[in-house]
Structure 1
């Protein structure tokens, strides 16, 4: 039952995170990157704190806080600002393909810092994915440096996402998924407070549809999806959870095509496919089962 619940939680996360790329692209027409991040995090924090109070879970143990702070600043904060900015320069599908280099970095960092183990294929995968990001960048060079900047910002988002996941994993040994997500979101909100003035000004002039997108991003892709992610992450390895996001780019391209009438060009799509190929290369060496005597890295929620 636990495995089924973890699989369901991961599926919910993948779907909602895919929808976030489309919602960000839409809301970004009326909100600047920092204001959009703060609005999203504030909405998510309100919902998460409400659930935390209703469940009476309280504060996580002290040992959870280093991971909560690191993931809060980098993943909830910097990641969202970089992604929002990047999506103002590239389409949603391209952004999703470049950001999905993150699972390769998660596998590398997880093997090094969390002792989950990794093979040289991970390094090869990183090289292939980086080449894909370069192809995407050059394919969009016709739009000027801003498009290349957008690709670089998506790479920054992928790096901060990977570091955030690896930092969050040990925190889940000392706090529940809801606790770690709630306080991580609050830390991210505090980190984005310098954008409060922009948020207030832009919310006063933005259409209701854009503001509803911001609220949607906070309640569902942040409040719900980050919690279901943490729930599943606590029950498996960081690299395995990173692998579950492989489906995100395909879903984003489909959603962006239907909802935004956006479809990456063929060269851009080929570069994105190369990014995903690098992720696949990094995972092909992980199929060999571990000996029975080896312990499996798991984490319990508190």
Structure 2
């Protein structure tokens, strides 16, 4: 039974959101590790190819075919702008910008997505959503600045800004597609479109795989299987059951999780600014999630 837009999000949706956020947080470690041996475009293509293969196998196993024609504009848009443009420009931008600057600029992505969704998808601009996103963005900025080296080139800033724009356009494009296609279809073919868009980096990928140590290649495989295939699938599942702005605001949980994972797994004790930033992220997301939901949730 469909619930109205003001109903509480179900347990499956909350689980999908939690899986997405944790895996996306883990991707920062994987990208940092694999990025030492793989060029930005090759790294994006590698994880997209792995993700497309894994998702395609699941699609066949579940007996789901091609998405309806009405879903393809949104799938193509998400594939080009989010899966391809976002991944390549983020990988590239972080080579020319410190972590703090990258976090600040890329952190505008959910804000841009909420604004676009407000106009294009007519989701509106709930006050609590805007206030919560402002608090969460301040927290994300604090975490980034606490971990940043304080240096960035204009190229790095522009690339990170392009990544944020790609994220925003891709997410807003994916939302209408989910009215016609399943979450698995939208994710599988979006990932495939992204991989095709990144094929110009195929030669570089072959060179990097041949030269990289097995551990770096395994990191690319991990990025493809989990932060790409699984996390983007659970994201699409959640997006089909809530609004773009609210789900985008939830991504500000990621910096807080990164702080926690770095503390537990890497023994990187966070400083007071990072802890405060992580707390602000959680508070901001909580405020945002209390905003009225206009989207209809499906079971």
1:298 aligns with 2:291: no
1:239 aligns with 2:251: no
Mark the runs of 5 or more structure 1 residues left unpaired by the alignment.
Answer: 291-295
Q: C-alpha offsets along residues 106-160 of structure 1, whole Å, 9 cap, x if unaligned?
A: 2111111111111578788899959x97xx79x97864x44x5434433322221
Q: Which of 154, 161, 164 does residue 167 from structure 2 map onto?
A: 161
Match of 2:86 in 1: 79
1:216 aligns with 2:218: no
SS in structure 1 of the partner of residue 252 of structure 2: helix
Aligned ranges 1:1-302 → 2 under 5 Å: 3-90=10-97, 95-96=102-103, 98-118=105-125, 143=151, 145-146=152-153, 149-256=155-262, 280=284, 287=290, 289=292, 296-298=294-296
CA RMSD of aligned residues (A): 3.7
Aligned residues: 291
Give the Cα–Cα distance (whole angstroms) in 2 for the partners of residues 6 and 179 of structure 1. Answer: 18
Distance change in 2, residues 1:64/1:34 (3 Å):
same
Contact 1:97/1:249, CA 8 A, preserved across alignment: no
TM-score, structure 2 normalization? 0.82
Contact 2:41/2:88, CA 8 A, preserved across alignment: yes
TM-score, structure 1 normalization? 0.81
Give the Cα–Cα distance (whole angstroms) in 2 for the partners of residues 255 and 93 of structure 1. Answer: 18
SS in structure 2 of the partner of residue 184 of structure 1: helix
SS in structure 2 of the partner of residue 202 of structure 1: helix
Match of 1:293 in 2: none
Give the Cα–Cα distance (whole angstroms) in 2 for the partners of residues 161 and 23 of structure 1. Answer: 19
Distance change in 2, residues 1:263/1:114 (3 Å):
farther
Residue 263 of structure 1: how far off its partner (Å): 8.0
